[in-house]
Amino acid sequence: MFVSILQQGDFLIASIHAALDDSELMRFQKDVMAEIANHRAKGVIIDVAALDVLDSFGSWSLRNLVHMARLRGATTVIVGIQPEVAFSIVELGMELDVTTALDLENGLEYLESVTTGHRAGKSMLGVLGSHDT
C-alpha cells in the first residue's frame, strides 16, 4: 500500500507512504476526490512526508487536488513537506499555492480552526500518529 485514506469524523487523512509516479499521483487524486464525496468530508489532510521529490507535475497535481476539493466544500492542508523538498520547489520556480502545516497535529489544529462545529479529540491524534509510522 503506497497510500491510505482514513476518515476521522468530518475529516479525511490521506497519507502517501512512498515515492509515487505520475499515474499513481493521478490515481491518488481521484481516490481522495471520491472519498471526499463518499464521506461528505469538510476537511482533508494530505501527508506527503514520504515523498522524495515534488517536481512540477507533483506540485501541479497537489495544487489541483486542493482546488478541486475546495469546489466540493472541503478545506485541504498539506503536511509533512520535507525541508529539502520545499527548497527544491522554490528553486524550481513553483508556487505551490496551498495551505501547509508542519505535521498532522498542526494540520488538524488548522482544520479545526477553519471548520466550525467540530472538535477533534486528542486521543485521535495518537491513533493517527501510530498509524503513520
Partner 1 sequence: MISPGDVGGDPLTEEIVELTGLLRRVVGRRVRDREAVDDIVQETLARLLAARTRLDGRAIGPYAIVTARNLVKSQWQRADVGKRHEHRLADTRDPVRPDEPLLEQEEAEAIRIALDRLAPRERDVLVAHVVEGRDTGSLADDLASTPGAVAAQLGRSRAKLRVEYILALEGEPPTRQCRPVLLSLSAGDRRRQGELDAGYHLLDCDFCASMSEPLFDRRAKATADEVRIPVTVDADVVVARQRGREVAVQAGFSATEATVIATAISEISRNIVRFARRGEVTVTILTDDGASGVLVVAQDAGPGIPDIDLALQEGHTTYGGLGLGLPGSRRLMDEFEISSEVGRGTTVTMTKWHRR
Residues that bind partner 1 (CB under 8 A): 19-24, 52-57, 60-61, 64, 82-85, 87-88, 91-94
**DSSP category for residue 14:** E
Q: What is the nearest approach in angstroms of partner 1 to the Cβ of residue 89?
A: 8
The set of cell numbers assigned to 81 is: 513537506
Residue number with CB closer to partner 1 (92 or 102): 92
Show the CA angle centred on residue 94, arms to residues 89 and 98, nearest 5°.
90
| Distance in Å, CB of 1 to partner 1, minimum | 16
Residue 45 or 85 with smaller CB distance to partner 1: 85
Alpha carbon 95 to its chain's center: 17
In terms of CB distance, is 53 or 114 closer to partner 1?
53
Which of 37, 92 has the CB closer to partner 1?
A: 92
In whole angstroms, what is the distance from residue 130 CA to residue 118 CA?
Answer: 23
| Residues 6 or more apart in contact with residue 90 via CB below 8 angstroms | none
CB of 123 to partner 1, least distance (A): 35
What distance lies between CA 16 and its chain's CA centroid? 8
To partner 1, the closest distance from the beta carbon of 58 in angstroms equals 8
